[in-house]
A and B are shown apart, each in its own frame.
Chain A
Amino acid sequence: MARALVTGNHAAAHALALAGEANHVARGTICGAYPITPQTEIIEFLRAFNFSKGRVVPVESEHSAMAVCIGAALAGARTFTASSSNGLAYMTENVFSAGYFRLPIVMVGVNRTLGPPWNIWVDQGDTLMMRDAAWLQFYCDSHQDLVDTVLLAFRVSEDPRVLLPALVAQDGFLLSHTQMAVDLPTLEQVAAFLPPCHVPHRINGQGKTIGGMTWPHDTEHHRHEIQLAMERVPAVLAEAVDEFVRVFGRRPAGVITTEQTEDAETILVACNTMARTAQRVVQERRARGERVGMVRAKLFRPFAREVYTTACGHAQRIGVLDRNHSPGSGGIFWQEIALSLRCRPEVLVQDYLVGLGGGDVTPEMIHEIVDDLQGRTTASPPVWKELPVA
Chain B
Amino acid sequence: MTTLAPLDQDACGHILRPGNTNCAGCGMSIGLQWLQQALGEVRPTMCIPACCGIVAAGAFPTSAYGVPTLATTFASAAAVATGVSAVRRLNDEDALTMVWAGDGGTYDIGLATISAAAERNEDVLYFCYDNEIYGNTGGQRSSATPQGVKTSTTPQGKTEQKKDIMEILVAHRIPYAATLSVAHREDFLRKVRTAHRLRGFRFLLMLSPCPTGWKSEPAESVELIRIATQCGVYALYEVFDGRRYRINARPDGTPLERYMSTQRRYRTDLLDLDLLTALVNEKWAYLEALERAFPARVEDGER
Contacts and interface: CB of A to CB of B under 8 A. Distances in A.
A203 interface: yes
Contact of B47 (A61, A65, A71, A208): A71
Contacts of B90: 27-28, 30, 53-55, 77
B54 A203 contact: no
Contacts of A69: 83
A229 to B, nearest CB: 18
8 smallest beta-carbon distances between A and B, as pairs: A71-B83, A67-B79, A72-B83, A60-B116, A211-B71, A75-B87, A67-B76, A71-B80
B57 interface: yes
Interface stretch (B2-10, B59-67, B166-174, B295-303): B59-67
Contact of B84 (A71, A208, A211): A71
Given A67-B113, A70-B72, A208 B63 contact: yes
B70 interface: yes
Nearest to B124: A71
Interface string A189-207: 0000000000000011111
Contact of A63 (B55, B61, B76, B88): B76
5 contacts: A63-B75, A203-B70, A207-B66, A210-B70, A214-B59
B24 interface: no
Contacts of A215: 59-60
B59 A32 contact: no
B279 interface: no
Contact of A212 (B43, B60, B112): B60
Nearest to B119: A60
A65 B82 CA distance: 10
B120 interface: yes
Contacts of A79: 83
- Size range of the interface on A? 35 or more
B213 to A, nearest CB: 21
A153 B269 CA distance: 64
Given A27-B87, A72-B87, A94 B68 contact: no
A133 interface: no
B93 to A, nearest CB: 9
A73 interface: yes
A326 to B, nearest CB: 25
A260 interface: no
A218 interface: yes
Contacts of B88: 75
A64 B63 contact: no
- Candidate in B72, B84, B91 with the most chain A CB atoms within 10 angstroms: B84
Interface string B111-123: 0110110001000
A203 B85 CA distance: 12
Contacts of B89: 55
B58 A213 contact: yes
A211 B83 contact: no
A208 B65 CA distance: 7
A73 B63 CA distance: 21
B186 to A, nearest CB: 28
Interface in A335-376: none
Contact of B57 (A54, A68, A209): A209
B71 A212 contact: yes
Given A210-B69, A213-B55, A218-B60, A70 B83 contact: yes
A58 B73 CA distance: 19
B184 interface: no
A59 B67 CA distance: 27
Contact of B79 (A27, A59, A75, A210): A59
A268 interface: no
Contact of B87 (A32, A76, A94, A206): A76
Interface in A37-71: 53-55, 57-61, 63-65, 67-71
Nearest to A218: B60
A94 B78 CA distance: 13
Main secondary structure of the interface of A (DSSP, over half): mixed
A263 interface: no
Given A67-B76, A71-B81, A213-B60, A205 B86 contact: no
B280 to A, nearest CB: 33
Contacts of A73: 83
A144 interface: no
B63 A207 contact: yes
Nearest to A30: B86
A121 B43 CA distance: 49
A283 interface: no
Given A32-B79, A57-B86, A63-B75, A212 B54 contact: yes
A60 B57 CA distance: 29
Contacts of A179: none
Contacts of B55: 213
User: Interface centre among B17, B59, B60, B66, by most A CB within 10 Å?
Assistant: B60
A70 to B, nearest CB: 6
A82 B112 CA distance: 20
B45 interface: yes
A74 interface: yes
B60 A207 contact: no
Contact of A93 (B43, B61, B73, B120): B73
B82 A71 contact: yes
Contacts of A208: 63, 68-69
The residue among B67, B72, B80, B83 with the most chain A CB atoms within 10 A of its own CB is B83
B267 interface: no
Contacts of A210: 68-71
A30 B83 contact: yes
Contact of B69 (A59, A64, A209): A209
B76 A212 contact: no
A277 interface: no
Given A71-B81, A213-B59, 8 more contacts: A59-B82, A64-B75, A64-B78, A67-B73, A67-B79, A70-B83, A73-B83, A218-B59
A205 B68 contact: yes
A209 B62 CA distance: 8
A70 B78 CA distance: 12
B199 interface: no
